[in-house]
């Protein structure tokens, strides 16, 4: 079955096309000014796959740059996916780069990025993702952690972060307080004329 771009499962993604990995929001360090802060909003945990065969799942984000018409539905799906995890997490965005920066990163670890649409026959299903792709290595790593480490280093060196817009943290309690105040206000009845 083909995806939206006309690619079948297993077809290679072009070298200049943009791929990205979904990121979970992490709590930031707060406190003393001299605390060491994390330089990037992602770490190795974002690249570890727990399900066999441990191929790294990615999202196709555009032909030569980020495409908003692709980011919008993927962002909604990712927000829903992270909310269903145990414990629930918050979707923070993507770290992305061009395909060639992963597939041609190191000659000792040849890999290819291939299309792998999820549930292409069921467009109404919540897990339908026509933009899904995988990193497939020609020779498997001895441990999935090593593969995650290799991909993480490529994204760390050459990747860019796209933050997913969400409600700022200070507006959530404000909205709750506004609702409580409005609920406690006495209801005004319309005045009768006459």
105-138: per-residue pLDDT in tens? 777 777 888 888 877 667 777 778 888 898 888 7
Residue 174 lies in a domain: no
Residue 186 lies in a domain: no
Cβ contact 87:136 at 8 Å: no
pLDDT at res. 171: 54
Cβ contact 2:78 at 8 Å: no
Q: What are the φ and ψ backbone dihedral angles of 22, each rounded to 5 degrees?
A: -70, 145
Residue 23 lies in a domain: yes
Residue 5 lies in a domain: no
HSE at residue 171, side-chain half, CA atoms within 13 A, is 3
Q: What is the mean pLDDT of residues 6-16?
A: 81
Query: Which of 6, 7, 110, 95 minimizes the C-alpha distance to 58?
Result: 95
What's the pTM?
A: 0.73
For 138, the domain range is: 18-168
Q: What is the mean pLDDT of residues 143-155?
A: 85
Residue 31 lies in a domain: yes
- Using DSSP, state whether 59 is helix, strand or coil: strand
pLDDT in tens, 24-82: 887 666 665 666 655 567 788 888 887 777 788 899 999 888 888 888 889 888 888 88
- Domains: count for the chain: 1
Residue 48 lies in a domain: yes
Residue 4 lies in a domain: no
Cβ contact 140:150 at 8 Å: no
Residue 41 lies in a domain: yes
């Amino acid at each position: 079955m083909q995806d939206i771009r006309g690619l079948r499962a297993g077809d290679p993604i072009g070298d200049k096309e943009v791929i990205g990995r979904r990121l979970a929001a992490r709590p930031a360090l707060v406190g003393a000014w001299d605390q060491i802060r994390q330089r990037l909003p992602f770490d190795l945990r974002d690249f570890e796959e727990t399900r066999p065969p441990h191929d790294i799942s990615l999202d196709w984000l555009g032909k030569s740059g980020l495409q908003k018409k692709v980011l919008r539905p993927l962002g909604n799906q990712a927000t829903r996916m992270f909310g269903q995890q145990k414990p629930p997490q918050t979707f923070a965005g993507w770290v992305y780069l061009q395909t060639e920066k992963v597939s041609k990163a190191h000659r000792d670890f040849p890999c290819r990025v291939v299309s792998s649409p999820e549930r292409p026959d069921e467009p109404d299903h919540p897990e339908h993702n026509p933009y899904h792709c995988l990193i497939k290595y020609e020779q498997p790593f001895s441990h999935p952690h090593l593969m995650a480490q290799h991909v993480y280093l490529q994204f760390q060196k050459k990747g860019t972060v796209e933050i997913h817009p969400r409600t700022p943290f200070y507006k959530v309690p404000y909205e709750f307080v506004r609702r409580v105040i409005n609920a406690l206000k006495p209801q005004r009845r319309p005045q009768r004329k006459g």
